[in-house]
């Protein structure tokens, strides 16, 4: 039985949205069969479309392509900042405060605060900007494809309401300062401890914190278990060295499930986004993947377990 988004159920499932998510995933899954790393970058570019659903007027769906481009550009900025840790830490703080100040004035600032700044934090995990440029371009291509698919999908009467609770300009600025301290502290700890994924803790802090206390408590609990499950599934799948076909199927399932459950009262979205981001960070990236060096997915799949 299908439970459409917008109900009060803890977790909902929409088969129509699941189909949409699966269609979004088709090009990424095909590319994964040939080049897993590039295919997963395409899949990550589809995440905004799968998570946002279908805005009512078709003209509003053009923003899907812009969101994907913003995701890639934000990660590139984070990668560039990672080259100079002493600059990256105060930059994260300043970006949080600036985005919070702009967020009180319009939707552009709200998107920058909710999506752009956290992805800059996640981009700190990439210390090679040339690698990040390729990922950013693939994410933009994936989001452009998702935008075209959404334009062909039936229109909905109206977009779903946003997050509850309004915050004044002064309160938003105070929130930006607190957010900046959280993100900068997480980044500083990551750099000082030479963590493999400096940006993951920073990005998680920036994604979880919200100016509305009730929403923060809800997201804090839900995100904790969602991220743990998604990270365990993503990391476990990479360590299992599955065939490319299995990896492609996992991408389709993750995007379909993300789209189908996006209207849930519980915050389950991070389970699927974390799963795909972990694949992006670990697949075909010998420096970050446990086990040493290798030049490709096929070689890793055929390697012995003792390597």
What are the extents of the domains in the chain? 16-53+212-302, 64-142+171-194
> What's phi and psi for 151, nearest 5 deg?
-65, -30
pLDDT given for residue 107 in this prediction: 66
Distance CA 116, CA 28 (A): 23
Which bin fits 168, alpha (ψ -120 to 50), beta or left (φ > 0)? beta
> What's phi and psi for 13, nearest 5 deg?
-140, 125
DSSP string, 168-225: -HHHHHHHHHHHHHHHHHHHHHHHHTT-TTHHHHHHHHHHH--SSHHHHHHHHHHHHH
Query: Rounded to the nearest 10 degrees, what angle do helices 85-103 and 63-81 cross at?
Result: 150
pLDDT given for residue 205 in this prediction: 84
13 SS3 class? strand
Weakly modelled stretches of the chain, pLDDT under 50: 1-8, 157-165, 286-307
Q: Which two tokens stand for residue 280?
A: 């992006």
pLDDT given for residue 242 in this prediction: 93
């Amino acid at each position: 039985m299908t439970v459409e988004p917008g109900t009060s159920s803890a977790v909902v499932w929409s088969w129509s949205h699941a189909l949409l998510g699966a269609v979004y995933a088709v090009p990424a899954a095909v590319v994964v069969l040939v080049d897993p790393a590039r295919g997963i970058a395409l899949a990550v570019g589809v995440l905004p479309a799968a998570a946002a659903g279908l805005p009512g007027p078709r003209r509003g769906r053009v923003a899907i392509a812009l969101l994907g481009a913003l995701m890639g550009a934000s990660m590139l900025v984070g990668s560039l900042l990672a080259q100079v840790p002493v600059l990256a830490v105060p930059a994260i703080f300043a970006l949080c405060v600036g985005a919070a100040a702009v967020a009180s004035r319009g939707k552009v600032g709200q998107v920058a605060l909710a999506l752009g700044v956290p992805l800059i934090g996640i981009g700190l995990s990439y210390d090679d900007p040339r690698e990040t440029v390729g990922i950013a371009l693939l994410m933009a291509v994936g989001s452009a494809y998702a935008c075209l698919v959404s334009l062909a999908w039936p229109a909905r009467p109206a977009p779903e309401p946003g997050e509850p609770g309004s915050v004044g300009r002064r309160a938003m600025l105070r929130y930006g300062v607190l957010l900046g301290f959280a993100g900068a502290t997480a980044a500083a700890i990551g750099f000082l401890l030479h963590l493999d994924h400096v940006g993951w803790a920073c990005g998680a802090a920036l994604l979880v914190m919200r100016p509305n206390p009730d929403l923060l408590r809800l997201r804090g609990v839900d995100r904790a278990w969602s991220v743990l499950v998604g990270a365990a599934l993503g990391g476990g799948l990479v360590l299992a060295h599955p065939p490319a076909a299995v990896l492609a199927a996992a991408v389709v399932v993750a995007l379909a499930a993300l789209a189908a459950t996006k209207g849930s009262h519980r915050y389950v979205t991070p389970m699927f986004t974390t799963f795909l981001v972990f694949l992006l960070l670990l697949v075909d990236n010998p420096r970050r993947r446990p086990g040493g060096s290798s030049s490709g997915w096929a070689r890793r799949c055929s390697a012995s377990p003792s390597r």
